[in-house]
Amino acid sequence: MALYRLLVRSFRRTTAAITTNTTTTPHSYLPTLQPHPSFSLLHLRTLAFSSAEEAAAERRRRKRRLRIEPPLHALRRDPNAPRPPPDPNARRQPDTTSSLTGPRLNLHNRVQSLIRAGDLDNASVLARQAVFSRTRPTVFTCNAIIASMYRAQRYDEAVSLFEFFFKQSNIVPNIVSYNFLIVSHCECKRVDVGLEIYKLILAQAPFSPSSVTFRHLTKGLIDVGRIGEAVDLLREMLNKGLGADSIVYNNLIKGFLDLDDFGKANEFFDELKERCLVYDGVVNATFMEWFFNKGRGKEAMESYRNLLDLQFKMTPATCNVLLEVLIRFGKKKEAWELFDSMLDRHTPPNFQAVNSDSFNVMVNECFKEGKFEKAVITFKKVGTKMGSRQFAMDVAGYNNIIVRFAEHGMIEKAEEFFTELKSKSLSPDVTGYRTLIDAYLKEQRIDDALSMFEQMVDANLRVITAYADRWFTELIQNNKVVECSQVLTKMAERDPKPDPSTYEIVIKGLCGGGAFDACVNIVGQVIRSGVGVTPSIREFLLEVFEKEGRRDEMERLLDEKRQGNWQQPYSQASRPAGPTGPGQSLQPSGPSGFSPPTGFSGSAGPTGSYGNPGPTGPPQQRGYWQGNWQQPYSQPSGPAGPTGPVQPSQLPGPSGFRSPTGFSGPVASTEYSGNSGPTGPPQQGGQWQGNWQQPREHLGPVGPIGPEQPSQPAGPSGFRTRTGF
């Protein structure tokens, strides 16, 4: 309105100027326009308001608003003011993604790399040992190893890891952690335990159950024949305001279809369609599969066409299920049409219509039919519609076609795709290397297998014990023992170290080939790296070297004291044990020797299933030492806790030493407090050269303390233990 008034006022002034400046000569019948200077749009006004009254009204409005809504800076806490003390009774919250930085992110990546390599045992060891180090794992790292155990169908170990991380180690779980615990129990038919965990979440957790929680519980209840309770759980989910979840409804529909109650299943399907305008097509796939199994293919295809008529933008996961159902029951034409439509709708970054699993389903079908060229064409197929783009194939897609070609003996084609994989911005993983190495060994292409093995090690990929032992054995049988020792030396340059069984294979191969000098080097490497020499290989070495007249040399090598600075690998870290009493055995109290949680069935110690028993010999002679200490390391000084049938956990260091998580024993007596130096028994005393200081913070205990494993000192309280580095 203000702009309109100004325009009218300016037009009136312009009209007056025209009347004044118009001449009466016959040659100037057109008026000469002289617009007013204020008519320029760039100079309409210099103020924000058209009048002083309007400005005053705006000021009054702002004052009223400030009285009701104070400015943001008024609500901020003074940065110089002291922070309020935290509420000790407040619930602890799980880690956020911002905590996954620095050393904790490096730890997470190391665990993930071991998981991707299939070495779940060492991944579990690394994550568990990190609990006792300065770099404690985040909840995301704990969830990663628990999820890998679940995917490997090692459900009891997944449950044990949950107990260890979140109950014994005092890490706060999130809803993902509880979901993996629930599904692990449900897969073992322990549904009642899963329901108790669900009630525990409702009562104590600082978050609510998710739809995934109800997916696991409903499926578990249906699997044990308690479909009525599953229906009640669905109603509870809806009452909590979580909304209708297609997968939960699909679980119930499948349960009723398995009971041949089509009417009840159709009733839940209608309810889902009423509650969700767009639902997951997996429900239609469930109906299709049931119709096909009943010999009612016409009704199955009718359900499929009804889904297509809805024109949903289905995710790749949904379409992949439909593809598998169509192919399984012989509807290959419709499957190819669906795959082509998925390619046409693939318009990243707007919409992802396919993934590598979609290609894998169709490529595998081509291989089943023996159409290898069609498989290659399908692998590189692109949509034909305007705007569709080629799918950027990932490593999983390349691995699938490489495995298929290797299975059919077409190694050249497999090599071609492996080279193409490396030429892209992708890095081959363990599956690709393993497939080609096995294929080369099967075809007796020993040099190619050895070259690929070396490339795998150079790529910093973890070679798990099962593969390493098998490959080394076959290569040594084909007179490649010296090359194997070189590859093993490269493997030992990074953590985790090779397994003692792998060293035993190479050592026996070197001795059998007469390469005794190389064998001495490998044995020295075993000792320096802290892997340890097993009794069987020790006996073998002494026997072989005695025949060569070099027994004394090998004995000196096996019995030599480790002096100077050496690092104990994280997978075999240990520390000296204290004196024992009745009923107590000498055990390394470090991470590799800690007592596993109750009911833990995984690899928890030196003799775990991962095949890495750690150094042999007296535990007092193993550990990580820095400094100049006159007394041999096998007898470190420091207070030695009381002995007896069962010793309670005590604090061996000064009084400021923080106890491990879940510590329930008595506090150490004051005679051990202060910086008074080692005060152990006379037989364990030693001369300490130089001054040492008590660290300001506790670096973490080395392992949990079992009922018969007392916490023992590890030398001066400034002694740093390398755990999980």
The three-state DSSP-derived secondary structure of 319-369 is: HHHHHHHHHHCCCHHHHHHHHHHHHHCCECCCECCCCHHHHHHHHHHHHHC
Among 307-316, 370-379, 499-508, 702-711, the least confident range: 702-711
Compute how many other C-beta atoms are within 10 angstroms of the C-beta atom of residue 129. 22
Q: Please report which confidence band the pLDDT of residue 528 belongs to, taking 50, 70 and 90 as the band edges.
A: confident
Residue 255 predicted with pLDDT over 70: yes
The answer to whether residue 233 scores a pLDDT higher than 70 is yes
DSSP bridge partners of 502: none
Rank 205-209, 576-580, 679-683, 718-722 by mean pLDDT and report only the highest.
205-209
> Residue 453 pLDDT > 50, yes or no?
yes
Are 296 and 278 a contacting pair, CB within 8 Å? no
| Lookup: tokens for 344 | 């046409």
* pLDDT tens-digit series, residues 619-667: 333 333 334 444 433 344 444 444 444 343 343 443 343 434 444 443 3
Q: Give the global pTM.
A: 0.66
Rounded CA separation 477/542 (Å): 23
What is the total residue count of the chain? 725
Non-local CB neighbours of 482 within 8 Å, separated by 6+ positions: 510, 513, 515, 518
Q: Return all residues near 592 (Cβ < 8 A) that are at least 6 apart.
A: 125, 129, 571, 572, 573, 574, 605, 606, 612, 614
DSSP conformation letters of 240-305: TT----HHHHHHHHHHHHHTT-HHHHHHHHHHHHHH-SS--THHHHHHHHHHHHTT-HHHHHHHHH
Contact yes or no for 145/115 (Cβ under 8 A):
yes
pLDDT: is 5 or 101 the higher one? 101
Predicted confidence at residue 69, as pLDDT, reads 67
Look at residue 43 and tell me whether its pLDDT is greater than 50: no
Q: Residue 163: is its pLDDT beyond 90?
A: yes
**DSSP secondary structure string for all residues of 477-538:** HTT-HHHHHHHHHHHTTSSSPPPHHHHHHHHHHHHHTT-HHHHHHHHHHHHHHT----HHHH
Round the average pLDDT of the chain to a whole number and report it: 77
Question: What separation in angstroms does the CA of 616 have from each of 246, 510, 559, 584?
Answer: 56, 22, 11, 18
Q: Which residues contact 208 (CB under 8 A, 6 or more apart)?
A: 175, 201, 202, 240
Collapse the DSSP code of 629 into the 3-class scheme (helix H, G, I; strand E, B; otherwise coil) and give the result: strand
Share of the chain above pLDDT 90, in %: 51
Sole residue written with tokens 């409804």: 249
For residue 688, the 8-state DSSP code is: B
Flag the least confident range among 3-17, 407-421, 460-474: 3-17
Would you call 607 helix, strand, or coil by DSSP?
Answer: coil
Dihedral pair phi/psi, residue 347, rounded to 5°: -130, 70
What's the whole-number mean pLDDT along residues 411-438? 93
- pLDDT value, residue 631: 41
Spell out a b/e string for 29-42, using b for 16 or more CB atoms within 10 Å of the CB, else e: eeeeeeeeeeeeee
Residue type, 542: L
Beta bridge partners of 347: 351
Tokens in use for 53?
Answer: 């009254």
Write the DSSP assignment of 568-584 as a string of letters.
--GGG---------TT-
What is the tens place of the pLDDT at every residue in 677-696? Answer: 444 443 443 444 444 444 44
pLDDT confidence of residue 278: 87
For residues 595 and 660, is the Cβ–Cβ distance under 8 A? no
The closest of 255, 364, 266 to 306, measured between CA atoms, is 266
Rounded to whole angstroms, how far apart are CA atoms 461 and 464? 9
Q: How confident is the model at residue 721 (pLDDT cuts 50, 70, 90)?
A: very low
pLDDT at 90: 81
Determine the pLDDT at residue 81.
72
- Helix, coil or strand: residue 625: strand
Task: Write the burial class of residue 102 (CB in 10 Å: 0-12 exposed, 13-18 middle, 19+ buried).
Answer: exposed
Contact 610, 603 (CB under 8 A): yes
Residues 463 and 456: beta-carbon distance below 8 Å:
yes
Contact 229, 222 (CB under 8 A): no
Confidence of residue 89 (pLDDT cuts 50, 70, 90): confident
pLDDT at 125 over 90: yes
Question: How confident is the model over 178-228, as pLDDT tens digits?
Answer: 999 999 999 999 999 999 999 999 999 999 999 999 999 999 999 999 999
Closest CA to 605 of 170, 212, 125, 272: 125
Burial class (CB in 10 A: 0-12, 13-18, 19+), 279: buried
- Region 501-514: mean pLDDT is 91
State the angle between helix axes of 139-151 and 155-162 in degrees (0 to 180), rounded to the nearest 10. Answer: 160
pLDDT for 48 equals 62
pLDDT for 572: 39
Q: Under DSSP, is residue 566 helix (H, G, I), strand (E, B) or coil?
A: strand
Least confident of 259-273, 342-356, 429-443, 605-619: 605-619
- In angstroms, rounded to a whole number, what is the distance separating the alpha carbons of residues 556 and 548? 15
Query: Which residue from 182, 185, 103, 109 is spatially nearest to 140, judged by alpha carbons?
Result: 109
Nearest Cα residue to 468 out of 656, 349, 612, 253: 612
Q: With a cut of 80, say whether residue 145 has pLDDT above it.
A: yes
Question: Residue 211 belongs to what H/E stretch?
Answer: helix 211-223
* Alpha carbon distance 274, 146 (integer Å): 37
* Lowest mean pLDDT, pick from 45-54, 133-142, 416-425: 45-54
Comparing C-alpha atoms, which of 145, 211, 210 is closest to residue 184? 145
